[in-house]
Amino acid sequence: MIKIQKKEFNIEKEIKIIKDQYSSVGAVNTFVGYVRDINNNRDVKFLDLEVYKEMAIKELSKIKDNAVDKWSLIDCLIIHRYGRLHINEKIVLVACFSEHRNDSFEGCKFIMDYLKKDAPFWKKEFYNEESSWLQNTS
């Protein structure tokens, strides 16, 4: 399942929705990303995240399907927020559901590496007197 949204999300509730569908799930690996107060030695006040939603859903669906196939995942959940996000707010949740832990670990890392490098989201950080667009990590 892929969700691209402005609103906050509840991690436990989101995982339970999927977990309750599959009795074969033995492992759920998650990654949660938050807005930090410092980046590159600068005090961050807030972020603005922009997204091309249709493209993001299409691209995230591909990467999710690749992870499911490669690691025999039962399901994956990707939630990515956009809009103005403040310090300590959640930005992203990736949860991979599998029979065994290694598959869910590897699938989660694979999806997060894609999100940090190639996903069609653009992040602008705001500081005291200025702002800066951030580059994707490689």
pLDDT digits (tens, 9 = 90+) for 5-40: 999 999 999 999 999 999 999 999 999 999 999 988
pLDDT at 89: 98
Q: What are the tens digits of pLDDT across the range 108-119?
A: 999 999 988 888
Q: 77 in helix, strand or coil? A: strand
pLDDT at 138 over 80: no
pLDDT at 119: 84
Q: How many CA atoms lie within 13 A of 18 on its CB side?
A: 24
Domain layout of the chain by residue ranges: 2-128
The hierarchical CATH code for the domain 2-128 is: 3.90.1170.40
Per the listing, tokens 């989660």 go with: 108
pLDDT at 136 over 80: no
